[in-house]
């Protein structure tokens, strides 16, 4: 989330508890039971070169990291000039095969609770993940570890685009204040978390009840970054536990950290902070920003964290089964170095045989107020991601999904969930074009080539 004015944080805190929401793509939880100081502009030729594979000069690394040529910025923002971070590099590649959680991928069919029902137990997954037993996707497979065939709307969850009945924006009620919402589904309950660790729940997707603040900003994060609040949380489930990732930073700075907390159930117990996962510009000079975490589980069951904002764009690292960083490899997956400005707020969603990378571009909270959502996709979790025209997201590509209007401005920082066999886009927008960040939810369907189509703003 692009931290451009501090008042947005205060506005988003009005809300209450949360039993957070996961956007893990592929690990089913028990059936009983996704910013920082992003505002700056970087001029250094940054990025990390991973030593695990070939690296294209200024392009995408095949197995290693990509070289992010130049930082990106958004007009009206100021920030430190970042140098390039050389980091460490592990020699491993990226696991592209294997299983996607227990129960397989339910992309294209109903997400099954134990036994293959339609309750979508396990929440947001790779296009509708199932519990034990899985769900059968049209054109795909329902076997454990199976995945949907590549391409075509028939293989996608939630249905195919129909011009006679296009996707719509839902009419919502209740407590709707939310900035950078992330959502996770368990049974019929949607758990939503937002900046300030605001939380909300709903049992029908349209009526929302506020909770409380489940985790105060830990002392280590306050000391390390001078942050006063937590930004852009994200919850995932793997390794038999829930993991909440959160950002700590200050406006206009990439001296930032992503931390982790864990608990065994979303509807009970307290979050136990596990400390720092990774930081940027903390004893190093980094041309990237450690905020806006998002967890996705790949086909082999390995968790990955996408993150980043401004500077040299979006990054990704591999996690281990405890939720800690697995190695020193840093992958570059998107860069906004073009006329559309900077990007942030990654959300990776597995469906239709692809990993879809959703991201928000432009100014969320001041200046042009031109925040908008774009998308690209890849057959491997670490990329390369390309848009519908075939342009790499590392070269400024990104197919426009939602943009603002006079009634609802600056829509962005979205999350994607499957609920009752349909796919939904959850995001915030500014009421009246400049007002309070408010929760918005729209249906997602898929065109004939398997690209998402949604309503908005």
Catalytic positions: 180, 344
Can you tell me whether residue 38 is helix, strand or coil? coil
Q: Are 347 and 23 in contact (CB under 8 A)?
A: yes
Q: Are 288 and 311 in contact (CB under 8 A)?
A: yes
Q: Are 295 and 236 in contact (CB under 8 A)?
A: yes
Ramachandran quadrant class, 421 (left: phi over 0; alpha: psi -120 to 50; beta: rest): left
Per-residue tokens: 177: 């204040």
Per-residue tokens: 140: 């795909």
Q: Exposed, middle or buried: residue 187 (CB in 10 Å: 0-12, 13-18, 19+)? A: middle
Paired strand residues for 22: 235
CA distance to 291, 361, 410, per residue, from 69 (Å):
20, 18, 27
Residue whose pair of structure tokens reads 């009206």 in the numeric block: 76
Tell me the residue ranges of DSSP E strands in 352-451: 354-361, 372-378, 399-403, 408-419, 422-431, 437-446
CB neighbours of 61 closer than 8 A, spacing ≥ 6? 49, 50, 52, 53, 54, 55, 67, 331, 332
Q: Are 137 and 125 in contact (CB under 8 A)?
A: no
């Amino acid at each position: 989330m692009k931290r451009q004015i501090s008042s947005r944080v205060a506005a988003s805190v009005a809300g209450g508890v949360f039993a957070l929401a996961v956007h893990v793509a592929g690990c089913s939880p028990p059936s009983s039971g996704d910013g920082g100081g992003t505002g700056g502009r970087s001029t250094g030729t940054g990025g990390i070169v991973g030593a695990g594979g070939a690296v294209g000069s200024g392009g995408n690394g095949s197995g290693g990291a990509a070289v992010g040529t130049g930082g990106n910025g958004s007009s009206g923002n100021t920030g430190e000039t970042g140098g390039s971070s050389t980091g460490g590099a592990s020699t491993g590649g990226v696991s592209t095969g294997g299983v996607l959680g227990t129960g397989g991928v339910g992309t294209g069919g109903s997400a099954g609770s134990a036994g293959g029902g339609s309750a979508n137990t396990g929440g947001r997954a790779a296009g509708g993940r199932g519990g034990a037993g899985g769900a059968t996707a049209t054109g795909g497979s329902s076997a454990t570890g199976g995945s949907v065939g590549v391409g075509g709307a028939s293989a996608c969850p939630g249905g195919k685009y129909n011009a006679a009945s296009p996707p719509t924006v839902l009419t919502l009620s209740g407590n709707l204040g939310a900035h950078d919402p992330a959502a996770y589904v368990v049974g019929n309950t949607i758990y939503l978390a937002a900046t300030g660790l605001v939380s909300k729940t709903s049992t029908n997707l349209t009526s929302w009840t506020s909770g409380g603040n489940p985790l105060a900003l830990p002392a280590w994060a306050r000391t390390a970054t001078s942050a006063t609040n937590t930004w852009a949380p994200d919850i995932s489930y793997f390794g038999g536990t829930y993991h909440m990732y959160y950002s700590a930073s200050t406006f206009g700075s990439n001296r930032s950290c992503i931390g982790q907390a864990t608990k065994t159930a979303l509807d009970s117990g307290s979050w136990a902070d596990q400390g720092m996962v990774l930081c940027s510009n903390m004893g190093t000079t980094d041309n990237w920003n450690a905020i806006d975490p998002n967890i996705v589980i790949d086909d082999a069951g390995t968790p990955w964290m996408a993150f980043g904002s401004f500077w040299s764009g979006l990054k990704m690292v591999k996690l281990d089964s405890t939720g800690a960083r697995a190695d020193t490899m840093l992958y570059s997956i998107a860069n906004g170095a073009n006329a559309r400005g900077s990007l942030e707020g990654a959300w990776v969603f597995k469906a239709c045989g692809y990993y879809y990378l959703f991201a928000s571009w432009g100014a969320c909270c001041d200046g042009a107020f031109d925040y908008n959502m774009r998308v690209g996709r890849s057959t491997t979790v670490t990329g390369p991601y390309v848009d519908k025209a075939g342009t790499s997201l590392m070269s400024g590509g990104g197919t426009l999904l939602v943009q603002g209007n006079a009634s609802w401005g600056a829509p962005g920082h979205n999350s994607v969930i499957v609920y009752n066999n349909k796919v939904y886009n959850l995001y915030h927008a500014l009421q009246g074009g400049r007002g309070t960040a408010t929760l918005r939810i729209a249906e997602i369907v898929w065109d004939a080539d398997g690209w998402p189509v949604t309503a908005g703003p």
